[in-house]
């Protein structure tokens, strides 16, 4: 994927840069070759040129990057750690808070211990509840708690 | 003043000289680039070749990555359950693994389907899963508080360890030397690889500069012959690299599972596999099914209906050879892929040089070059004699330790080969009367190697 991404990036970059740079390159070549310029370099860029050179450069630049990425990912997985596709930091923070509170958490808990506002914490919690990852719980006083299973001892 | 101007002029000359020196390679480089640009069609053919090779190896890479990912996900779920008194939920798993909640749910459901986890609560995102009792009972104690406990213990251990320190100093020196040696070896290999890559890269660019479209169009048939020959070689080399990689990967996978079998004294509980080995349930299932179908191991059932595979004839002597090095399939596969891409580059160069040789030189040179390359390929692809000798030597070593009795898995583990390869060696021995098949009570055959006699047996033998 890195190689393919690099190819597309270079292709787009060359399409954007070519009209800007071409006059300068031509002026340089004209000064270098003089009168021979037209006969020596009868050359025009076509779509094939762009694709082929984007492919070549994509491989040259992308392959070492891809190899490094794959090696690092494999090393991580061997150590039982995941390299990518991670959950959002806010949700992970809410879950860690839930773990500390035996699974029960309120928007106020989150707002008091993080940079999230009460409203934003409330939104995240209600989304998690709607998706089925949390349950609603009500205290005697009528406070609403969000409950995450699996953090209470002896729970099954 | 005149002196100053004189020095200034000299300085200008020197700067001018170096500027001209720098400009000359610049002109050559620009000239080269424009020649390559003129041969874009050949570069397109070359890039197509590279892309096909890359795509072929990508499929194998995807398979390896998927297996590694599945195994890690399952092992992490089991680790979380182990830390949490055998209990795991979507939330606790997501917190530990940092994977998305929906993905965690899918993984836990899959493990529940395989009866590694069970739940008494309603199925769904809020379900709390309990790890299989037998698996949980066998797992080493692990908790979040472990680190603190370890710190306390280590204080007491420190006193004892002072006495051990003197001994360990000598060992440390040895390991340092070993580390340095391996680092030096790795570095020299890396430098060698870089040199090869650079040389091939320069050769390809040189070919792209030298190549002439007119000349090729004039002698199409010769260049076509050379290109077809290069492609045939490339297909053979690709096939060889892929099959040798698959073979090595299969060997290491089976060895990994057999190491677990040895640690568990001849028993295999499939539910434990991701925690103790580098295999996932999905990758291990066909492997163990095949072993059972070919009668390399027997099955017994636990009280809860779980399956345990039993390997015959296990004793402490079953493990003769020790293998320390860690195998990682991804870097190995990357290495093979890089090698194939380099061969793609060489095939491209060969098709031009071969065509040139056919046109300008004697065609005998071309045929000779093809024969040499074919010979080298054949030497690497079909030479198996030393491998067979190694297997037989290890089989005899294990059989000697075990008083002549040898099971298929013992040979497979010690020689680091697949169970099928080990079975083939032993079947060959049976056919040539070197060993005979014996069926113990479990019904899984063990081979009795003749000629393996203990010292007592030798001394008590009767003279005829």
Q: Which residue range forms the structural domain that includes residue B454? A: 386-459
Residue B402 lies inside a defined structural domain of this protein: yes
Interface contact flag, B128 A95, Cβ < 8 Å: no
Distance CA B225, CA B351 (A): 8
Residue B437 lies in a domain: yes
Query: Is B397 domain-assigned?
Result: yes
Interface of A with B in 111-130 (CB under 8 A): 128
- Whether residues B328 and A150 touch (CB distance < 8 A) is answered with no
Question: Closest Cα of chain B to A17: distance in Å?
Answer: 17
Within a domain: B434: yes
**What's the confidence (pLDDT) of residue B44?**
83
| Residue A156 contacts B, CB cutoff 8 Å | yes
Nearest residue in chain A measured CA to CA from B79: A80
CA distance B191 to B202: 16
Measured between CB atoms, does A132 come within 8 Å of chain B?
yes
What percent of chain A stands above pLDDT 90? 1
Please name the residue of chain B whose CA is at the shortest distance from the CA of residue A50.
B40
H helices of B264-314, in order, are: 273-276, 281-293
* Candidate CATH numbers 3.40.50.620, 1.10.10.10, 3.30.960.10, 3.30.479.10; the one for domain A89-147: 1.10.10.10
Give the CATH number of the domain where residue B395 resides. 1.10.10.10
Does A144 reach chain B within 8 Å, measured CB to CB? no
CB of A75 less than 8 A from some CB of B:
yes
Across the interface, do B30 and A156 touch by the CB < 8 Å criterion? no
CB atoms within 10 A of CB B10: 10
Q: Let me know if B413 is exposed, middle or buried by CB neighbors in 10 A (0-12, 13-18, 19+).
A: buried
Q: Chains A, B: CB contacts under 8 A, how many?
A: 135
Q: Are strands B307-310 and B87-89 parallel, antiparallel or unpaired?
A: unpaired
Average pLDDT of the residues in A95-121: 88
Total domains in the fold of chain B: 1
Q: Do B130 and A156 touch (CB under 8 A)?
A: yes
The span from the CA of B278 to the CA of B328, in Å, is 9
Query: What's the pLDDT tens digit per position in B196-251?
Result: 888 888 888 888 887 777 787 787 788 888 888 888 888 888 888 888 889 988 99
- The predicted complex's ipTM stands at 0.77
Do A151 and B126 lie within an 8 Å CB cutoff?
Answer: no
- Side by side, which strands form the sheet with B435-438? B405-406, B446-449, B435-438
Chain A residues with beta carbon closer than 8 angstroms to that of B65: 70, 73
DSSP string, B224-263: HHHHHHHHHHHHHHHHHHHHHHHHHHHHHHHHHHHHHHHH
Q: Which residue has the tokens 């870089």?
A: B194
pLDDT digits (tens, 9 = 90+) for B126-180: 788 888 888 888 777 765 554 444 444 444 444 454 545 555 555 556 556 666 7
User: Which residues does B311 contact at the CB level (< 8 Å), separation at least 6?
Assistant: B261, B266, B267, B268, B296, B297, B407, B409, B444
Neighboring chain A residues of B98 at a CB cutoff of 8 Å: 82, 86-87, 92
Q: Where are the domains of chain A?
A: 2-78, 89-147
pLDDT score at B150: 46
Whether residue B415 is contained in a domain is answered as yes
Residues of chain B under the 70 pLDDT cut: 1, 121-125, 142-179, 324-325, 362, 366, 380-385, 452-459, 461-464
- Asked if the structure places residue B333 within a domain, the reply is no
Q: Tell me, what's the pLDDT at A37? A: 64
């Amino acid at each position: 994927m890195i190689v393919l991404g690099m190819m597309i990036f270079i292709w787009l970059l060359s399409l954007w840069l070519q009209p800007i740079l071409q006059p300068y390159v031509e002026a340089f070549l004209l000064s270098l070759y003089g009168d021979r310029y037209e006969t020596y370099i009868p050359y025009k860029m076509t779509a094939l040129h762009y694709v082929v050179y984007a492919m070549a450069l994509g491989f040259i630049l992308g392959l070492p990057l891809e190899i490094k990425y794959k090696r690092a990912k494999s090393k991580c997985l061997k150590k039982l750690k995941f390299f990518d596709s991670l959950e959002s930091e806010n949700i992970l923070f809410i879950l860690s808070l839930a773990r500390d509170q035996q699974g029960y958490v309120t928007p106020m808990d989150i707002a008091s211990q993080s940079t999230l506002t009460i409203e934003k914490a409330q939104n995240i919690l209600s989304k998690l509840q709607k998706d089925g990852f949390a349950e609603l719980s009500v205290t005697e006083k009528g406070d609403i708690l969000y409950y995450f299973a699996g953090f209470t001892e002896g729970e099954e | 003043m005149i002196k100053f101007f004189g020095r200034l002029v000299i300085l200008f000359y020197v700067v001018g000289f170096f500027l001209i020196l720098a400009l000359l390679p610049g002109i050559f480089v620009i000239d080269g680039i424009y020649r390559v640009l003129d041969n874009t069609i050949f570069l397109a053919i070359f890039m197509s070749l590279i892309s096909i090779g890359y795509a072929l190896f990508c499929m194998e890479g995807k398979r390896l990555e998927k297996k590694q990912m599945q195994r890690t996900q399952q092992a992490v779920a089991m680790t979380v359950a182990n830390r949490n008194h055998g209990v795991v939920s979507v939330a606790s798993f997501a917190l530990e693994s940092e994977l998305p909640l929906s993905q965690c749910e899918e993984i836990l459901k899959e493990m529940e389907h395989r009866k590694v986890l069970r739940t008494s609560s309603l199925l769904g995102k809020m379900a709390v899963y309990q790890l299989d009792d037998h698996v949980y009972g066998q797992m080493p104690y692990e908790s979040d508080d472990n680190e603190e406990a370890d710190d306390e213990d280590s204080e007491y251990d420190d006193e004892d360890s002072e006495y051990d320190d003197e001994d360990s100093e000598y060992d440390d020196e040895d390991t340092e030397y070993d580390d340095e040696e391996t680092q030096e070896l790795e570095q020299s290999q890396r430098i060698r690889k870089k040199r090869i890559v650079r040389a091939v890269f320069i050769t390809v660019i040189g070919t792209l500069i030298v190549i002439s479209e007119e000349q090729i169009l004039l002698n199409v048939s010769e260049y076509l012959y050379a290109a077809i020959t290069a492609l045939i070689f490339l297909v053979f080399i690709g096939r060889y690299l892929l099959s040798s990689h698959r073979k090595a990967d299969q060997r290491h996978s089976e060895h990994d599972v057999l190491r677990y079998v040895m640690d568990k004294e001849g028993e295999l509980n499939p539910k434990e596999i991701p925690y103790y080995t580098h295999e996932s349930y999905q990758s291990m299932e066909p492997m163990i099914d095949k072993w059972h179908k070919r009668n390399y191991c027997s099955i017994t059932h636990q009280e809860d209906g779980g399956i345990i595979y039993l390997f015959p004839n296990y004793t402490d002597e079953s493990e003769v050879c020790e293998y320390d090095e860690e195998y990682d399939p991804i870097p190995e596969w990357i290495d093979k892929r890089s090698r194939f891409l380099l061969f793609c580059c060489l095939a491209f160069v060969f098709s031009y040089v071969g065509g040139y040789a056919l046109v300008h030189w004697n065609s005998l040179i071309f045929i000779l070059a093809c024969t040499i390359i074919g010979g080298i390929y054949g030497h690497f692809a079909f030479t198996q004699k030393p491998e067979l000798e190694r297997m037989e030597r290890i089989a005899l070593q294990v059989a000697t330790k075990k008083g002549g009795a040898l099971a298929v898995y013992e040979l497979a583990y010690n020689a680091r080969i697949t169970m099928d390869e080990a079975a083939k060696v032993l079947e060959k021995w049976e056919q040539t009367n070197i060993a005979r098949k014996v069926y113990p009570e479990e019904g899984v055959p063990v081979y009795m190697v003749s000629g393996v006699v203990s010292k007592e047996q030798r001394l008590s033998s009767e003279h005829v």
